[in-house]
A and B are shown apart, each in its own frame.
Chain A
Amino acid sequence: MQSYFFHLMPWTDYPDDFDEKYESSWVTFPNTFYDPIKGADLYNRYLDELEYADTLGYDGICVNEHHQNAYGLMPSPNVIAGMLARRTKNAKIAILGNGLPLRANPLRIAEEIAMLDVVTRGRIISGFVRGIGCEYLSLDINPTFSREMFYEAHDLITRAWTEPGPFEFLGKHYQYRYVNVWPRPYTKPHPPIWLPSAGSSETIEFAAQHRYPYVSVFTPVDNVKRLLNAYRTCAREQFGYEPDPVQLGYAPGMYVSDDEQRAKEEAAAHAEFFRAKAFKIPPHFLIPPGYVTENSLRGFLAAGLGQGGPLGDAIAGTPKTVIERLIADYEFLGGFGYIIAGAGPGNATHEQTVKHMTLFQTEVMPTLKKYHAQKTAR
């Protein structure tokens, strides 16, 4: 059982009239509300927290990519990973992930990840994502080509990492006469690829096919169960193997503190901030036309798209409570091989975040690791 510490790097100051006046913190929320002076403090605080996760002994630290929003200020996860590469020593740096269709030239992703992997001597996990729907408005990428571009860029990058160059690549979206990436990755055959996802059936199938670790972020536990079971079924029935626990992750909304009541109150405040501010996204931003298949849309509608906050059932409490709940979830989900503990989402303070991440790693994880070891030893 491995532990990961995920940072969203949120912007924390919203105008008082945000709820009435702005449809979303994404796409159209004016960047005049961004203050670079405060931004400098925030970036450095967040980087300190990620570095501290390495000191605490987390197996990995996670960064991600989002564009033109106040939700998370990492338009380039590879830049953030570059900052962390030489300031951390042991933790894997999980980039969850690069939005493949969002880069006009995906060979740049192959190059940048290879650079990071070589510098860190193999501490890079390379997540591949499509980006959420808003990204396609913010960067003006045609969402109807998203999936096609994703698959094609995936093939290009993995071939660029593994096949001797130069070679020719002929795709629908990308054509290269000379694929010949310098440096080649340190990890053989290439850095681990993870597929974080919002839960489309096609992504689950693709992940299962390639045996890529799958995780659904900010998803209620009932849906996580459905998705992990879909992965297991797909692996078994379509690809003829039993997935290893390391392929299945769990990333619940979670907040640990040293007082039960205070933990719940603070978590509720963070969740409310997340719901009302950071993740305020209308459906037409979240799912632009052609971004998902009609099959997936039917699934989302059936699952109640947009109903209930993603952190509605956040796990909050003292380490004891959180352990109990995680073990219950472990059983409910049929096990998982890694867990992602987010930085207190939304507007958690530095002190709250440090307490949460410390208690989780030092008091929750040992029990969870032991439990997982016992379960998988049988």
Chain B
Amino acid sequence: MTTPQERYVQAGDYRVRILEAGQGEPVLFLHGAMGAGIWTEGIARLAEQFRVLLPDHPGFGPSPLPEWLRGMDDMVFHYLDFLDAVDIREPVYLAGASFGGWIAAEFAAFHPERVKKLVLIDAAGLRIPSVPMPDIFRLPPQNILPLVFHDLSKAMALMPKDFGPDTIIQMFHDRSAFARLSWNPYLHNPKLPRRLHRATMPTLLIWGQQDQLIPPAYAEEYKRLLPSATIAYIDQCGHDPTIEQPEEFARIAGEFLRETRI
């Protein structure tokens, strides 16, 4: 399994931490709300096949919440700066999980010419009125975990060893950056559905069959709105396939990205 290198790049006026490992074509992986700096087993396995870059979103991990980050469009512009900063000029493989999947979908709709293929993993961004998403901002952590993980033992392995002030404040920091873009409208952009038809690149929707946070109906909705999307469900899997089913995730994502026939 790969071990990532940590480095910092200057994207526009903002300094970004990246974890990076692997060889070959680059995959820009956009992490979920609690995934900054977490090199999950699924990401590690993907990095056995590709050069994977895992940057922290602005305001996550050690990065301060920038004053300019006020909406999803700011995030999209940030990732244009980021791609320049890491000198990726050609269309890139773009993957995003959960909150990162939402960013990836927005980026792909705004700049389809910069995305070679798109992988959305249990992505936020849409809202189906008849399929509610639990409000994770009003639930205590112990009630969120069963929504995220099908197998809670996987969650326990990732828990911080101590819940001292530094851990609580770091979690608060990341949740604050997450809330900045996700509070209202909650976890979605009402404008996104009308825009997604611009994202014409081949797209794979990887979804945990037992995701209770963003249920599989959202995979179907993305498929309906995106011109070239297919769905791969993973069974025995909740909201984060890169943690719960890492091998299966890396196999499915790898095959899709390597596949030349469209």
Seen from chain A, the residues whose Cβ lies within 8 Å of a Cβ on chain B are 27-28, 136-137, 140-145, 172, 282, 284-285, 287-290, 294, 297-298, 301-302
Contacts and interface: CB of A to CB of B under 8 A. Distances in A.
A298 B165 contact: yes
B66 to A, nearest CB: 12
B137 A137 contact: yes
B183 to A, nearest CB: 4
B179 interface: yes
Given A140-B184, A284-B139, A297 B179 contact: no
A298 B172 CA distance: 11
A301 B165 contact: yes
A289 B175 contact: yes
6 contacts: A28-B138, A141-B184, A144-B177, A144-B180, A289-B183, A290-B179
Contacts of B178: 289
Nearest to B186: A140
State which size class the interface on B falls in: 20 to 34
B138 A297 contact: no
A68 to B, nearest CB: 12
Contact of A290 (B139, B141, B176, B184): B176
Contact of A294 (B139, B140, B173, B186): B173
Contacts of B180: 142, 144-145, 290
Nearest to B137: A288
Given A294-B169, A298-B165, A298-B169, A144 B176 contact: yes
Contacts of B169: 294, 297-298, 301
Contacts of B177: 144, 290
A144 B137 CA distance: 12
A144 B65 contact: yes
Chain B residues touching A, majority SS: helix
A302 B183 contact: no
B138 A137 contact: yes
Contacts of B175: 289-290
Residue among B178, B183, B184 having the largest count of chain A Cβ atoms under 10 Å: B183
Contacts of B140: 282, 284
B9 interface: no
A314 to B, nearest CB: 28
Interface in B136-194: 137-141, 165, 168-169, 172-173, 175-180, 183-184, 186
A144 B139 contact: no
A301 B165 CA distance: 7
A289 B176 contact: yes
Contacts of A287: 172
Q: Which 7 A-B pairs have the closest CB atoms?
A: A290-B176, A289-B175, A289-B179, A289-B176, A142-B183, A144-B180, A140-B184
Given A140-B184, A284-B141, 4 more contacts: A27-B138, A143-B179, A294-B172, A301-B165
Contact of B179 (A28, A142, A172, A282): A142
A174 B141 CA distance: 35
A290 B178 CA distance: 9
Contacts of B184: 140-142
Contacts of B141: 284
Contacts of A141: 184
B136 to A, nearest CB: 10
Given A141-B184, A144-B180, A144-B183, A284 B165 contact: no
Nearest to A301: B165
A136 B173 CA distance: 17
Nearest to A137: B138
Contacts of B165: 298, 301-302
Contacts of A290: 65, 175-177, 179-180
A289 B137 contact: yes
Nearest to A290: B176
Contacts of B172: 287, 289, 294, 297
